[in-house]
Chain A
Amino acid sequence: DIQMTQSPSSLSASVGDRVTITCRASQGISNYLAWFQQRPGKAPKSLIYAAFNLQSGVPSKFSGSGSGTDFTLTISSLQPEDFATYYCQQYSTYPRTFGQGTKVEIK
């Protein structure tokens, strides 16, 4: 199985900060990488697919990059609604696997 490792596991940031989350795959997955946001008590929401493509309706402050084994999710200017847990997922092979999550908290 492909292991997905996110870093950091949690971070504290202020409104307006630029935040970057890293996701590393244990083997190459080309660009078959998705990012999800989960607010407390809510279902996950798709943000990005194919490493850098924004889902419809997702604001452009979110961006993704990377290919192969190393990927990043960047939030350009953190807003109160962005405080949540973020997950990466590879969809290159089965079983699909998720990173452990990165919790973004208010400083």
Chain B
Amino acid sequence: QVQLVESGGGLVKPGGSLRLSCAASGFTFSDYYMNWIRQAPGKGLEWVSYISSGSSYADYADSVKGRFTISRDNAKNSLYLQMNSLRAEDTAVYYCARGSVSDYWGQGTLVTVSS
């Protein structure tokens, strides 16, 4: 069955960096483009970034452009989000989700940006 498992979250100081990972299984990872979506505490869902199946294309929300970088390793069935220059407003649960319709989601990993 399709599984997406995020990891790498934690507490980081403003201005710091963190790298999130999403391990995929149960499907042909290299066939799908992938998304990162986040949810601040008590708030709604916010799309963060996507990457195409072969890494040729990617895009970002304006709120993270220039600070976050999405990447993937199809040989390792893994998706990544490198987050730099973190701000308090980046505090959220970060989910990876599969494909254009986000048909499967991971359980999320919590990122807390606080001094």
Contact = CB atoms under 8 A, between A and B. Distances in A.
Interface of A: 34, 36, 38, 43-46, 49-50, 55, 87, 89, 91, 94-101
Contacts of B44: 87, 98-101
B99 to A, nearest CB: 9
A8 B95 CA distance: 26
A103 to B, nearest CB: 10
Contacts of B60: 95
A44 B59 CA distance: 22
Contacts, number: 51
A85 to B, nearest CB: 8
Nearest to B98: A46
Nearest to A91: B100
A23 B45 CA distance: 15
Nearest to A55: B103
Given A43-B95, A44-B95, A91-B100, A96 B47 contact: yes
A36 to B, nearest CB: 8
Interface stretch (B22-30, B76-84, B104-112): B104-112
A73 B62 CA distance: 29
Interface string B53-68: 0000001111000000
Main secondary structure of the interface of B (DSSP, over half): loop
Interface residues of B, number: 20
A98 B101 contact: no
A46 B103 contact: yes
A34 B45 CA distance: 13
Contacts of A50: 101
B105 A43 contact: yes
Contacts of B107: 43
Nearest to A53: B101
Contacts of A96: 35, 47, 50
Given A43-B108, A44-B95, A95 B103 contact: no
B47 A98 contact: yes
